[in-house]
Amino acid sequence: MVAVVLMVSAAGYQRHTGPSYPATGQFLVGGYSYEYELVRNELTTRDARVAIPDTEESVTGTLVYKRFRTDDDFVEAPMVAEDGELVGWLPAQPPAGKLEYFIILDTPTGRIPIPDEFHGNVVIRFKDPVPLFVLLPHIAMMFIAMLIGVRAGLAAIFSPGPMRRLAWASLVVMTIGGLVLGPIAQKYAFGAYWTGFPFDYDLTDNKVLLMWLVWVGACVFIGLKSKGREGMARLAVVAAALVMVIVYVIPHSARGTELDYELLEQGVPPSEALKSGREG
């Protein structure tokens, strides 16, 4: 039960802290507070819909955007009222392409930036569609690997009987989910199988690699049968489980792959004009 709680907590934490989760906040118009969610993740096959509540208080909105990390001028596009919302559209980008944007509301009492200056502009990343037969097993196996790995660590502390079986099972599931299906999913999404070490510094790839190497070391050390050094074997499994928990605390897709527009304009194919982002 402890392992299940930790896995579910990690899944929820990654979902709500990752750079693809909508940017949320509130704004005030006419003494009323309105909540908004601004998209930070979209497919390359369609424009991104940006919407906030329509206050119906003689308020108009302007969507302001430009390509992320470029010297482009900001583009302003009027938002339109649609089913109780003010809606604007961001143009689709190549895989791993990013836009930064914000909204300006013109109200009877002045202009309101959304988000405010304290939170800064919103960054959205585009990706190609990933087939569900790849994406769902990848996600499921990564969290199942964590479930089994944490359970192995708890077994090493309290009841080492199933420790080896659980540790090896976690490594096998992690290998399939992280080092086989993970690169395939990334290839579909961004056109590159691997953008971590030694080719680049994509944090998601690197943390999966680190976690996998730690578990490989632990499983090689403990072997398949007891060798008379159970204290060290148990410590190795506990350490691997702790590294796994720490890795899962890091938000998914943080410092993820992004498109270098400068390279793209030089004629480099999008799949080769990728780099690791410093944020988003």
The predicted pLDDT at position 122 comes to 95
The predicted pLDDT at position 270 comes to 81
If asked whether residues 121 and 147 sit together in one domain, one would say no
For 7-43, give one letter per residue: b (16+ CB within 10 A) or e: beebbeebeeebbbbebebebebeeeebebebbbbbe
Residue 271 lies in a domain: no
Q: Summarize pLDDT for 28-61 with one digit per residue, the tens.
A: 988 889 999 999 999 999 999 999 999 877 899 9
Higher pLDDT, 231 or 252: 231
Residue 112 lies in a domain: yes
The predicted pLDDT at position 279 comes to 47
If asked whether residues 158 and 135 sit together in one domain, one would say yes
Residue 177 lies in a domain: yes
Measure the CA–CA gap between 181 and 233, rounded to whole angstroms: 29
Residue 202 lies in a domain: yes
Closest to 152 in 3D by CA, of 174, 132, 173, 168:
168
Q: Domain tally for the chain?
A: 2
Least confident of 192-196, 229-233, 262-266: 192-196
75-84 own/partner pairs: CB under 8 Å, 24+ apart: 79/50, 79/103, 81/54, 82/51, 84/53, 84/54
Tokens of 25: 């906040």
If asked whether residues 216 and 157 sit together in one domain, one would say yes
Q: Summarize pLDDT for 88-111 with one digit per residue, the tens.
A: 999 999 999 999 999 999 988 889
Closest to 241 in 3D by CA, of 6, 9, 13:
6
Residue 29 lies in a domain: yes
Closest to 206 in 3D by CA, of 231, 241, 182:
182
Question: Does pLDDT of 115 surpass 50?
Answer: yes
| Domain boundary pick from 101, 127, 153 | 127
Confidence of residue 258 (pLDDT cuts 50, 70, 90): confident
Residue 242 lies in a domain: yes
**Domain encompassing residue 50:** 20-127
